[in-house]
Chain A
C-alpha cells in the first residue's frame, strides 16, 4: 500500500512538474509562484485519492506477495482457508504456516524506485531553465533589473535633474525620480518591459499636465471673438504675430478702457486659474489687475510679459521636451523620424505629435527589434502573430511615433484659374467653446492603453484570443 502510494505520488508529481513549466511560461511570475503551492497540494491529494480508490484487496496483495516471493500461493491459501472447518483446508493452512514460518517475506518485496522518478528530470530541467533564463530571454536575477530597464531608469534620473534645475515642475521631477527607483528595484523578470511602459505612460500624463495647455490654445479660446491684428494672429495660430499684436495692444491708447480686451483677459485668467498655472496666465492676471487698478504701465508690462510667454512658449518647452524624451524611451531609445531631440525647439506645439499613422496589422507584424532597440536593451514585443504569444504589431502599445507637423513640408503646385471662382463653404465641426468631451481622445487612449495591456495579461482571457483584443485596441488607436 505504501509503495503503491509512492508510485501514485511519483506519477502525480511528474504530472504536476509537467504542468509547472507551462504555468511559469504563460502566467506572470507572481501569479505562477502563487499557483504552484496549490498545485503541490492538488498533487498530494490526487495521489492519495488515487491510491485509496485503487487499493487492492488483501487477497490480491497476498497473491502478489506469493508471486514475488515464490511461495506457491501459500499466503493466499492461508488467507482464504483460515477459519474453515474443512479438514483439507485446515491441513492446507497448517502446511502454509509451516512453510512460511521461516520465510523472509520482506526480502521478497524490495522497495523499487517508481518509474516516474527518472522522468521528473525533464520537467525539472525545464523549470530550472525558465527560472534561470526567464520567458523573455536573458538571465533573470533575484531582483535585478535588466540593462534596458536600468538605462531607462538612468535617463529618468537625468531628466528629473534637468526638470528640477530649470524649475519647471518639482512634482514632475519627483515623479521622475520615483519612477526611476521603481524601475531599478521592481521591474524584473519577464514583466520588466511592461512595467517600464506603464511607468513611462504615467510620467507622460504628468508631463502633459505639467506642460499645461498650449499658450496659443489658451489665447485662441480667450481671444476667439477678437477683431484686429491680435484676433487675426490668434486665428492663424501665429505666436509671434500674436505676441506683437499683444504688445501693440498694450501700448495703444485707450487700452485701459478696452472692454473687449479686459473680457478676453478675464477669460484667459479664469481659464488659467482653473488649471495649471503658466506664465501666460499669470501675466494675464497681472494685466487684468493693472487694468482694474488703472495702472497702464503695469498693464503694459504685464501684456509685454504675455507676449514674451507666447514667444517663448515657456512651460511648454520643458514639458514638451520631457514628453519627447519619454516617447523616445517608450520606443526603445530611438527617436522617430523627424522628431526633435530632447532640448531642441519644437514646431507648433498645438499640433502635438502630428497625425497618428496606424499601420495595417494583419498578418505581417514587425519582427522583434524593428524599432531599432538593440538586443542588449532587453526583450521587445513582437511574438508570433495570431497566437497566444502575439504582442501586437508594434513595439509599443501606443504605436510608432509619428512624424510631427513642421518637419519637411511637401511642396505641391496647384493649377487654377485667376479670378473669382466658385466658393464652397462647409462647416467643419470642431471643438467648441463648451465641448461635451472633457478630454482629448488621444489623451484618454494613452491613459487607458497601459491598463488595457495589464488587464490583457492578468484577466482570464484564452491565450488564443488575446491577439484579437490587441488588434481591436490597435484599430481604435488615434
Chain B
C-alpha cells in the first residue's frame, strides 16, 4: 500500500495528464474540462449547456479516447423512444425464437446524451433510472450497466421552442451543470488552426485501466474533511432554501426551491478532488466554494418573480457565498 503522499501525487499526475491530453483537441474551456474530469473521478453525471459548435461532443469523444472507456452517443429527438436508449428484447433465433435482450446505447461507460431536452419526458425518464441506479430494467429483468458509468448530457439554450425542459428530479441527478462559454478570439483562432488544417491530433489513452479508475474513485472518497468544512457546505445548501433561517433577502424573494442533499454531496465530493489537486490532504472551504456554482446552479429553482427580474442562479449563489464569507 502506497503512502498517501505517493497516491496523492500519482492522482494529481494522472489528472493533469488526462487534462493535458484533452487540450490537444479542446481549445480553452479549462473549467469545462476540469469539471468533466471531476465528475469522472467522483462518479457523477454532467450537464453541458452551450450553443452548438463549442466542442461538447468533441470533448466527450476525446475523453473516451484518453480514458480507454467505451463511448456511445445518443442524439435525442422528439420521436426518440425509451427503448432506443435502454434497449429492447428481440426475438432471435430461427429455431428457438426466444427473446434476446439487445442492449441500447446506454450500455457504455461514457454516454453522450446530445440535446437531451429535445426528447419527451418519457424518454428522458428512461435515462433517469440508468443515471441513478446504474442499471436498466427491460421486460422485468435488470441489466446492470458498465462501470464507470458517466452520462454527459448537452442542451442548447437557444432553441427552447419544441423542447421539453428537464424536470427538477432529473436535473438533480447531474453532479455538475457546466456552462460552455463561447471561445475568445484567440481561442477561435486556435480552433480554426487545428480543425481546418490537415493535422489531426491523436490522443493517447493515459488513464490506465477501468480498475485503476475505480480505485482512484475510492481514493478520492477517502480524503478527510473537518466538521467545520462540512458545516460550511451544509450552511451553503441551506442558504438556498427560502424557508430556512439562514436564507438571505434575495433567496426569500426569488427562490422557489433550494438545493437538495445531493447538492451537498456534490460539494463535498468535488471539494475532495480540488483539495487533492491543490496538494492538500483535507478539504477546505475554498474547495467547497469552487464547486458551488457548477454543483448548485441547476438545483436552485427560481420563482416567477426571480425569472421576471432576470435573476440568475449564478448571481444568487455568488451572493450567498459572499454573505457566508462575511459572516
Contact = CB atoms under 8 A, between A and B. Distances in A.
Overall SS of chain A's interface: helix
- Name the interface size band of chain A: 20 to 34
A77 B282 contact: yes
B222 A88 contact: yes
A76 B281 contact: no
B227 A73 contact: no
B228 to A, nearest CB: 4
Contact of A81 (B5, B222, B282, B285): B282
A452 interface: no
A445 B56 CA distance: 103
Contacts of A91: 3-5, 8, 281
A72 interface: yes
A88 B11 CA distance: 14
A6 interface: no
Contact of B224 (A59, A60, A62, A86): A86
A26 interface: no
A62 B228 CA distance: 10
B227 to A, nearest CB: 7
A72 B223 CA distance: 15
A79 to B, nearest CB: 8
A77 B228 CA distance: 9
A255 interface: no
B100 interface: no
B90 interface: no
A95 B281 contact: yes
The CB with the most chain A CB atoms within 10 A, among B8, B228, B280, B283, is that of B228
A74 B287 CA distance: 13
Interface in A55-106: 59-60, 62-63, 66-67, 72-74, 76-77, 79-81, 86-92, 95-96
B222 A76 contact: no
Contacts of A60: 228
- Name the interface size band of chain B: 20 to 34
B220 to A, nearest CB: 11
B224 A81 contact: yes
A72 B286 contact: yes
Contact of A67 (B226, B278, B283, B285): B285
Contacts of B226: 59, 73, 76-77, 79-81
A73 B4 contact: no
A86 B227 CA distance: 16
A80 B228 CA distance: 9
A80 B3 contact: no
A95 B227 contact: no
B219 to A, nearest CB: 9
A76 B227 CA distance: 9
Nearest to A57: B228
A89 B224 contact: yes
A63 B228 contact: yes
A70 to B, nearest CB: 9
The CB with the most chain A CB atoms within 10 A, among B223, B278, B285, B325, is that of B285
A73 B281 contact: no
A91 B9 CA distance: 12
B326 to A, nearest CB: 10
Nearest to B285: A73
Contacts of B229: 73, 76
A96 B283 CA distance: 12
B124 interface: no
Nearest to B288: A73
Contacts of B29: none
B227 A92 contact: no
The CB with the most chain A CB atoms within 10 A, among B4, B8, B227, B282, is that of B282
Contacts of A95: 279-282
A410 to B, nearest CB: 79
Given A67-B285, A88-B223, A72 B280 contact: yes
Contact of B284 (A73, A88, A89): A73
Nearest to A64: B228
A169 B286 CA distance: 95
Contact of B4 (A59, A79, A87, A96): A87
Contacts of B282: 73-74, 77, 81, 89, 92, 95-96
Contacts of A62: 228
Nearest to B278: A72
The CB with the most chain B CB atoms within 10 A, among A60, A81, A87, is that of A87
Interface of B: 3-5, 8, 222-224, 226-229, 278-286, 325
18 contacts: A59-B226, A66-B284, A67-B285, A67-B325, A72-B284, A73-B228, A73-B282, A76-B228, A76-B229, A80-B228, A87-B4, A88-B224, A88-B281, A89-B282, A90-B4, A91-B5, A91-B8, A95-B280
